[in-house]
């Protein structure tokens, strides 16, 4: 059974290789029409803020954001804090999947405090986890 089709997926990870691998996995699973990649949480937040200003925000905002935790300048939790300040349209449309190599149980617990975090997955993305995605 094919996975649910999403208009847009966003990958946020400071590791370009991880972004590339995850992008290829998502493309192979054919669950998204568009894939945006960001190597920093700060640029991703700025992108979302800019998209909110456009009349086509509902068409360009990502349905799913795969978010790494451990990044320089702005980590995943700082991104989540900034995400909470975004417009209601963004918070309603974009669901977040924490995609991390962290095995720290505190990270998992902490991620549950954010209403838009719908899932916590360990890297790397697998074909199985992508097609079973239901957020």
Which DSSP string do the residues of 51-108 spell out, in sequence order?
A: HHTSTTHHHHS-SEEEE-S--SSS-HHHHHHHHTTS-HHHHHH-EEEEEE----HHHH
pLDDT above 90: percentage of residues in the chain: 79
Other CB atoms closer than 10 Å to residue 55's CB: what's the count? Answer: 6
pLDDT digits (tens, 9 = 90+) for 24-64: 999 999 999 999 999 999 999 999 999 988 877 778 899 99
Residue 2 has pLDDT above 70, yes or no: no
pLDDT of res. 3: 45
Assigned token pair, 79: 């991104």
Cβ atoms of 6 and 31 within 8 Å: the answer is yes
pLDDT of res. 94: 95
**Class assignment of domain 9-131?**
alpha beta
Q: Who's near 3: CB < 8 A, 6+ residues apart?
A: 29, 30, 31, 130, 131, 132, 133
Confidence of residue 1 (pLDDT cuts 50, 70, 90): very low
Residue 102 has pLDDT above 90, yes or no: no
């Amino acid at each position: 059974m094919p996975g649910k089709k999403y208009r847009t997926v966003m990958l946020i990870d400071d590791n370009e290789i991880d972004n590339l691998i995850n992008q290829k996995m998502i493309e192979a699973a054919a669950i998204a029409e568009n894939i945006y990649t960001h190597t920093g949480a700060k640029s991703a937040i700025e992108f979302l803020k800019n998209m909110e200003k456009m009349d086509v925000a509902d068409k360009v905002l990502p349905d799913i954001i795969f978010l790494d935790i451990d990044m320089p300048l702005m980590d995943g939790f700082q991104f989540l804090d900034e995400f909470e300040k975004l417009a209601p349209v963004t918070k309603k449309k974009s669901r977040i999947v924490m995609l991390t190599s962290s095995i720290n149980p505190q990270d998992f617990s902490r991620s549950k405090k954010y209403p838009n975090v719908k899932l916590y997955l360990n890297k790397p993305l697998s074909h199985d986890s992508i097609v079973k995605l239901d957020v």
